[in-house]
């Protein structure tokens, strides 16, 4: 077992221990807590959760696929999301996404191999007047240009480099 896996196992156990009633009704809350701690839901964590709550693994997997916000693949330390809704689309969002994919070598939905950045697209986050809009983690960056996007992504990737 790798050091990361061992620490993940410890974190999973600590999160499960917050739910001593082992109530299957707590499943979604547990999954949220696990994802907040691990950034995604590894298979081992899902299996452990299923066994802790006395549920079948298939049921737990089913819940992760039903809710859009759960991720079962590793995620980056940061997320860069390009809004591809109509208002952003007509103001150049496709070019921004292409540039982002080129700069990071990752297509939308993917994560850089060093797990520093996940690239995503979304359809309208309700801030159309700011289009084209890019979110870095949960922060809105409106009226985005290719140049600013490159700078933002450079900064994120630099932050992740070992010192
Ligand atoms: S289309 Fe991008 S925020 Fe609405």
Residue 149 lies in a domain: yes
Among the atoms of ligand 1, which is closest to the Cα of residue 83? 2
Say yes or no: 85 and 155 in one domain. Answer: yes
Q: How many domains does the chain have?
A: 2
Confidence band (pLDDT; 50, 70, 90) for 162? Answer: low
Among the atoms of ligand 1, which is closest to the Cα of residue 86? 1
Say yes or no: 9 and 35 in one domain. Answer: yes
Residue 72 lies in a domain: no
Task: Enter the pTM of the model.
Answer: 0.80
Q: Is 88 in the pocket of ligand 1 (CB under 6 A)?
A: yes
Task: State what percent of residues in the chain have pLDDT above 70.
Answer: 93
- b/e 77-102 (16+ beta carbons within 10 angstroms → b): bbbbbbbbbebbbebebeebbebbbe
For the record, the structure tokens of 144 come out as 């985005």
What CATH number is attached to the domain comprising 117? 3.40.30.10
Residue 71 lies in a domain: no
Among the atoms of ligand 1, which is closest to the Cα of residue 125? 3
Residue 18 lies in a domain: yes
Confidence band (pLDDT; 50, 70, 90) for 156? Answer: confident
Q: Is 86 in the pocket of ligand 1 (CB under 6 A)?
A: yes
pLDDT tens digits for range 121-138: 999 999 999 999 999 998
Q: Which residue has the tokens 């992740």?
A: 160
Q: Is 42 in the pocket of ligand 1 (CB under 6 A)?
A: no
Q: Rounded to 5, what percent of the chain is helix, strand, coil?
A: 50, 10, 35
Say yes or no: 135 and 87 in one domain. Answer: yes
pLDDT at 47: 96
Q: Is 87 in the pocket of ligand 1 (CB under 6 A)?
A: yes
Q: Where are the beta strands (DSSP E) in 7-54?
A: none
pLDDT tens digits for range 6-52: 678 889 999 999 999 999 999 999 999 999 999 999 999 999 999 99
Give CA–CA dist 64/80, Å, rounded.
22
**53, 63 contact by CB (below 8 A):** no
């Amino acid at each position: 077992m790798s050091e990361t896996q061992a620490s993940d196992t410890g974190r999973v156990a600590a999160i499960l221990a917050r739910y001593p009633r082992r109530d299957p009704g707590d499943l979604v809350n547990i999954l949220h807590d696990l994802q907040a701690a691990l950034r995604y839901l590894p298979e081992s964590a899902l299996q452990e959760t299923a066994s802790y709550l006395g549920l079948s693994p298939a049921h737990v997997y089913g819940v992760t696929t039903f809710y859009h916000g759960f991720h079962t693949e590793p995620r980056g330390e940061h997320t860069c999301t390009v809004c591809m809704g109509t208002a952003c689309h007509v103001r150049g969002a496709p070019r921004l996404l292409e540039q982002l994919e080129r700069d990071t070598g990752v297509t939308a939905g993917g994560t850089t191999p060093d797990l520093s950045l996940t690239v995503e697209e979304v359809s309208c986050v309700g801030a159309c007047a700011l289009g084209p809009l890019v979110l870095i983690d949960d922060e809105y960056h409106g009226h985005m240009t290719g140049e600013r996007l490159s700078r933002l992504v450079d900064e994120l990737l630099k932050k992740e480099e070992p010192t």
